[in-house]
Structure 1
C-alpha cells in the first residue's frame, strides 16, 4: 500500500507539472481538442497497473500533441519548451525534431500540400522510475497526419506512421520535459530535401486528377491484409500488431521484405516456390529487400517501370496501383521495399510497410533525399 501511494504521489506530481505547461500554451490547445486530464481520477484510492498506464498514456499523448502543434506551426520556441536542452541528450532530441519540422515543410512545399492536423495515440509498454522525478518509458506511438492540396483544400488525405519510442521524462523547474528520446525516425533519410528543385514538381503534381481504382479480388485481399498487419500504424481495432503466424525480422535487420512477401502471398495470387518461400523461416528472396526485388522481376511476377532519383521517376510513379511496390536503393543496394495500397486525391501512390510502420503514406515521404534511388515495380496480379 505504501508503494502504491508513492506511485500515486509521483503521478499526481506529473499531472501538476503538466498543468504548469498548460499555462504556457498547452491548456488552450487541449481545450480546443477536448483533451481532459482530471487530477481526481489519478488520485483514486484504488489504482491498478492498467489504470496507471492509462494516466501516463494521457500525459504522453498531450505532450506529443503539443509537439505536433509546434510542428504544424513551425514554432521552434514552442518545441524547445519540451526538452532539457542544457544536456546533450535532450539537446540532440530537440535538434532532431527541428530537422524533422523543416523536412516536413520542404516536403509539403514540393508536394503542394498543407498539413491540416497531426494527432498521436500512445500505447505504454513499460514504465520505470529511475530517480525521484525521472521516469523511463517504452511506448508504441501511432501518429496520424492529415493534409490537403493547395487546389483541393476541402479534400482531406490521411496517412499514419507507427514508431517505437524509448524516452526519459522528468520534472524540472515545475515542467514536464523530455531529457532523452530514441526512436527510428521514418524521415531520417530525407532531412536535406531542400536540394530538390520543387517548383516544376509541385506544378505537375497539382495538375493531376483523382483516379478511380478497379481492383481484382486478389488486390483487394492484398490491401486488406497490409492494412490489418502494418503494426503500430494500423487501426487500433487490429491491436497494432504484426501477424503472429510469421516471424518478426526486425531484430535481424528489418521486416520490410518479409511483410511485402506476406502481402503478395496472402492475396491468393502468388504461390510459394523453392526460391521464394516461408516455413517457420523465410528464404532469402522472402526476407531480404534486394533478393525480393530481384526475384519478383526475374521470375516474371513483376516488371520494372522506372528507376532513378525522385526527379527521374516521380511522373512514372503515377502508374503504380495497389499491390505494386517501390524499392528504395541506398549506397547501391536495395535497403527497403514498400507496397502500394492506395492513391490519394491527386492519384499520388500511397504505400504501407514495416520498419518503420506505415499506413497509406506518400511513397517518397521519408525517402526523397537526392542520394536515394527508386525502383518503381508493377506486380502482375
Structure 2
C-alpha cells in the first residue's frame, strides 16, 4: 500500500497475473526483447498501434458478448488453447463468466451490455505472426433488476493488460494474457440462502436521500480521479499524489484523497500526506483503524456477506467499505452512489472501479466486510 512517483496509468507496470501463470514479465522485457520480425516491410509503432487497436477491439467486444451470454464455447474460440498459456487465459475467463452469472442470479439482475474502451500503449512484432501489446481497458457494464427493467444502472472497471496475439490463417487468437483482474480476489460465490438474498434485494426500495454539499464534493473527486473518469481523466490519476499501485495498492491512498480533497477532512499527525503519506493515509488496515478509532467514523456492521447484506442498505455516499481477508484489511473503497434499489455502489483504485456494486468481486464466504459510516 505504499507509493512510487508514477502518476499516470499509462506508465503502470502489469501487476496482477492469472493465478496459475509464472511471474509476469515487465512491460519493457515483454515488448522490447523481441525476436527479429520476419516481415520484410515492418510497420511503424504508430501503424502497429492503429492496426491492433481495431483487432483487439473486435476480440474484446466478442469476449464481452460471450461473458454477457455465458457462451463458453464461443469464448474458447478466442484463445489458442493448444498452448499452455492460452489455455490458462481461457480457463480464467471461463471462471469469470460463470461468476458473473452466479452474481447476477444472486442479485436478481440482468446484464444488458458490456462494452470496452481501449488505450493502446505499446505493440511489438515478435515475428512469425506473434504480436505483444500492453493497453489500458475501461469496461462499462449496464444492468437492471428483473422486476424493474426500465431502471438502468451502469458501472465501470479499469484494467491494465499484457497480451500476446498469434495470427493463423488470417485470424488472431489470444495465446497469453495477464491483466489487473478486478475479480481476482473472489471468483467464488456462496449459494447459501441465495434465493432469500435475491428476494430481499428485489423487495428493497431506494431511500429518500438527498446528498449534502460536502459529501457531493467527495463523490465528485472520487469520480474525477478514479482512473476511469470521463474525458481527459480517462486512465489518469491525480498527479498531485504518488501512485501506490506498484508498491502493493493505491486503494487507501485514494480513499484518503477523497476524504481530504473532496470531503474537507483536515490532516493531522497520524493521517497526513506531504511528499509521501503516513501509514494511516496509505495502508488499508491502518486507514480503517484510524477512521474508526479516531471517532471520525463508526461501524454500521461487520461480517460475511450473508451477515451484512441487509445492513449494507444503511450505507450512503461518502461512507467506506473495507474488505478483510485472512485477518487483514486488504482493500478499502468509498461509496459514491446507490442504484435503483438503494444498493451501495463503490469507487476506488486497485483495480479501478467506478460506481460498482460493493460486493462484486468480493463474494467469497471467506471475505469479511467492514461497513463504516463516515461522519461528515
> What TM-score range do you get, normalising by the shorter chain?
0.7 to 0.9
Partners in 2 of 1:4 and 1:83 — Cα distance?
Answer: 24
Structure 1 residue runs without a partner (length 5+): 9-47
Partners in 2 of 1:82 and 1:4 — Cα distance?
Answer: 24
- CA contact 1:326–1:337 (8 Å) conserved in 2: yes
- The answer to whether the aligner puts 1:90 opposite 2:90 as a matched pair is no
Partners in 2 of 1:52 and 1:95 — Cα distance?
Answer: 28
1:51, CA displacement in angstroms?
Answer: 5.5
- CA contact 1:195–1:370 (8 Å) conserved in 2: no
Hey, what does 1:264 align to over in structure 2?
A: 259
Q: Runs (4+) of structure 1 moved beyond 6 Å?
A: none
Partners in 1 of 2:84 and 2:209 — Cα distance?
Answer: 50
Which deviates more, 56-65 or 97-106?
56-65
Number of residue pairs matched? Answer: 340
SS in 2 for 1:282: coil
1:281, CA displacement in angstroms?
Answer: 0.3
Structure 2 residue runs without a partner (length 5+): 1-37
State the Cα deviation string for residues 264-303 of structure 1 (Å, max 9, x = none).
0012420000000001100000000000000001111100
- The answer to whether the aligner puts 1:63 opposite 2:59 as a matched pair is yes
SS in 1 for 2:331: strand
State how 1:263-342 maps to structure 2 within 5 Å: 263-342=258-337
Partners in 2 of 1:127 and 1:213 — Cα distance?
Answer: 48
Partners in 2 of 1:345 and 1:54 — Cα distance?
Answer: 39
Partners in 2 of 1:91 and 1:339 — Cα distance?
Answer: 36
- CA RMSD of the aligned region, Å? 1.7
Higher RCO structure, 1 or 2 (CA under 8 Å, sep 6+): 2
Taking structure 2 as the reference length, what is the TM-score of the superposition? 0.87
The structure carrying a bigger helix percent of its residues is: 1
- CA contact 2:190–2:363 (8 Å) conserved in 1: no
Partners in 1 of 2:97 and 2:120 — Cα distance?
Answer: 25
Q: Cα gap change, 1:268/1:375 in structure 2, threshold over 3 Å: closer, same or farther?
A: closer
Q: Cα gap change, 1:4/1:220 in structure 2, threshold over 3 Å: closer, same or farther?
A: farther
Hey, what does 2:123 align to over in structure 1?
A: 127
Hey, what does 1:15 align to over in structure 2?
A: none
Please identify the structure whose Cα radius of gyration is greater: 1
State how 1:12-27 maps to structure 2 within 5 Å: none
Taking structure 1 as the reference length, what is the TM-score of the superposition? 0.86
SS in 2 for 1:160: strand
1:344, CA displacement in angstroms?
Answer: 0.5
